[in-house]
Amino acid sequence: MRLLNVVGARPQFVKLAPVCRAIDAYNREHSGAPIENVILHTGQHYDPGLSDVFFEELEIPRPDVALGVGSGSHGQQTGKMLQAIEEYLLKDPLDAVVVYGDTNSTIAAALAAVKLHIPVVHVEAGLRSFNRRMPEEINRIATDHISDLLLAPTPTAMNNLRDEQLGERTRFTGDVMLDAIRFNREIARRRSQATERLGLETKRYAVATVHRAENTDGPRLLQVMDALARVATAGLPIVLPLHPRTSNKIRLELPNWRAPEALQIIEPLGYLDMLRIVDGASMVLTDSGGLQKEAFFLGKPCITMRDETEWVETVEGHGNVVTGVDCAAISRAVESWKQRIDAGTPDLSAGIKAGFGDGDAATKTVAAIKDFLASTAQAR
Ligand code: UD1
């Protein structure tokens, strides 16, 4: 069985790592023909701090194919990937193509494969924000509808897929990002010096990130940056590892905006450093999907600076509030979390189990792919 795993953006490297480990474990534990694990990196993320460091720290095998597509408009970027992945698949047909999450790399690979009648497996299927202005929402919907096997991380994702008549192609695995956190939390505590390096006092600071197009490409950028500045100066120091898209936008659109001292803006961090500073924080403010979950898995309260979330289990599990970018709403949420934290560390474990599975999603992913390919081979 030859699988092509297609990744390109930072969160996809995190999701790929546990799947690679599960494939290795499968090959060790089963005699007979091994699963061959081929990795294609589209090059959507190319900065060493957004790409190489993840492969090193998460011990992901070097990509077999690197397309080096780079940045561009949605059409340009997706189009270049589609063309290049198709060329690769025509030369080297595989048994299945595995795609992750909701980026332009995801939809490009799914589209290239399905047109060549190669089965497509979607890891992290069924997420919906119901906001069609998000590029990720379009990527998710389109990818789910052209994929052959849909691996859902949460019960809500299962329901969404059933509602779209995709239930028969769907399996529940739980979330591979939970596997990644469980595997790496202790490693990060041992190896990362990020809290010391950044002068952070345990549980006396917050971690923030901002990169979503809806927050960076328009008037919300100033709102969100001002809100973070306000929270930081009001007594909760914030460290903000900033995605290059956001730094570029601030330089261009807000040339006179300056961060106060209590809002520490730094370069993007690698996986272990990020895990370490979230693990030591009192709370998280973000517009990222992955970080909402990582905060939840680490038992850290989260404020989601968006108008909706796909990760409703984090809200239902009492670990996340969705505020939008209104400064007053964000400040109120910070105060309310502070009071709850003062009353005792929140225990989010029941919500994690109910929402995201048992931390063995990667093993279930590999088993589901094996079963699926065995059943389609029989049907042929
Ligand atoms: C992409 C995903 C988003 C995901 C995010 C994780 C899509 C539509 N969006 O958004 O779902 O949450 O990755 O980070 O696929 N840039 C660099 N260096 C890089 C990569 C990007 O400087 O290595 C800058 C460029 O100016 C580029 C901009 O960031 O134009 C946006 O990058 P892009 O890959 O298009 O989208 P992300 O915002 O990273």
- Ligand 1 atom closest to the Cα of residue 248 is 26
3-state SS class at 3: strand
Q: What is the mean pLDDT of the chain?
A: 97
3-state helix, strand, coil in the chain (%, to 5): 50, 15, 35
Helices (H) and strands (E) in the chain, counts: 17, 13
Q: Are strands 149-152 and 120-123 parallel, antiparallel or unpaired?
A: parallel
**How far apart, in whole angstroms, are the C-alpha atoms of residue 23 and residue 37?**
7
Is the model's pLDDT at 106 over the cut of 90? yes
Spatial neighbors of 365 by CB under 8 A, at least 6 apart, are 19, 22, 123, 151, 173, 176
Distance 245 CA to ligand 1 centre (A): 7
Residue 129: per-residue pLDDT? 96
Please state the pTM of the whole predicted model: 0.97
pLDDT of residue 93: 80
Q: Are 351 and 312 in contact (CB under 8 A)?
A: no
SS3 217: coil
Measured in angstroms, how far is the CA atom of residue 71 from the centroid of ligand 1?
A: 7
Task: Quote the percentage of the chain above a pLDDT of 90.
Answer: 96
> Given the CA of residue 105, which atom of ligand 1 is nearest to it?
15
- CA-nearest of 143, 149, 188, 184 to 17 is 184
Distances in whole angstroms, Cα of residue 130 to Cα of each of 151, 184, 334, 336, 365:
19, 32, 26, 27, 26
Q: Whose alpha carbon is nearest atom 18 of ligand 1?
A: 47
Determine the 3-state secondary structure of 357 from DSSP: coil
CB of 179 within 6 A of ligand 1: the answer is: no
- pLDDT value of position 376: 86
**Which listed residue (41, 122, 211, 243) is catalytic?**
211
Average pLDDT over residues 115-127: 98
| pLDDT for position 319 | 96
Judged against a pLDDT cut of 80, whether residue 268 lies above it is answered with yes
Pocket test for ligand 1, best of 45, 212, 305 (most atoms within 8 A of CB): 45
Question: Is the pLDDT assigned to residue 346 strictly greater than 90?
Answer: no
Tell me, yes or no, if 211 is annotated catalytic: yes
Q: Which atom of ligand 1 is nearest to the CA of 106?
A: 15
For position 379, what pLDDT does the model report?
Answer: 76
- Tell me the Cα Rg of the chain: 20
Q: Which two tokens stand for residue 268?
A: 């993007």
Which residue type sits at 313?
E
Closest ligand 1 atom number to CA of residue 9: 13
By most ligand atoms within 8 Å of CB, the mutation choice from 13, 243, 269, 286 for ligand 1 is 243
Residue 378 has pLDDT above 80, yes or no: no
Side chain identity, residue 330? I
pLDDT of residue 377: 82
- The response to whether residue 183 sits with its C-beta less than 6 Å from ligand 1 reads no
Q: How many CB atoms lie within 10 A of CB 322?
A: 19
Q: What is the mean pLDDT of residues 197-211?
A: 97
Q: What is the DSSP letter of 129?
A: -
Which residue CA neighbors atom 30 of ligand 1 most closely?
71
CA count, 13 A, side-chain hemisphere, 366: 24
Please tell me the residue having the least CA distance from ligand 1 atom 12.
288
Residue 33 has, within 13 A of its CA and on its CB side, a CA count of 7
Rounded mean pLDDT of 154-170? 98
Does the structure show a pLDDT above 80 at 17? yes
Query: What's 200's DSSP letter?
Result: P
How far is the centre of ligand 1, averaged over its atoms, from the C-alpha of 12 (Å)?
A: 12
Contact 262, 204 (CB under 8 A): no
Residue 217 pLDDT grade (very low, low, confident, very high; cuts 50, 70, 90): very high
d(CA 139, CA 82): 13
Q: Is the pLDDT at 380 greater than 80, yes or no?
A: no
Q: Are 362 and 19 in contact (CB under 8 A)?
A: yes
Is residue 39 a contact partner of residue 19, using CB atoms and an 8 Å limit?
Answer: no
46-86: pLDDT as tens digits: 999 999 999 999 999 999 999 999 999 999 999 999 999 99
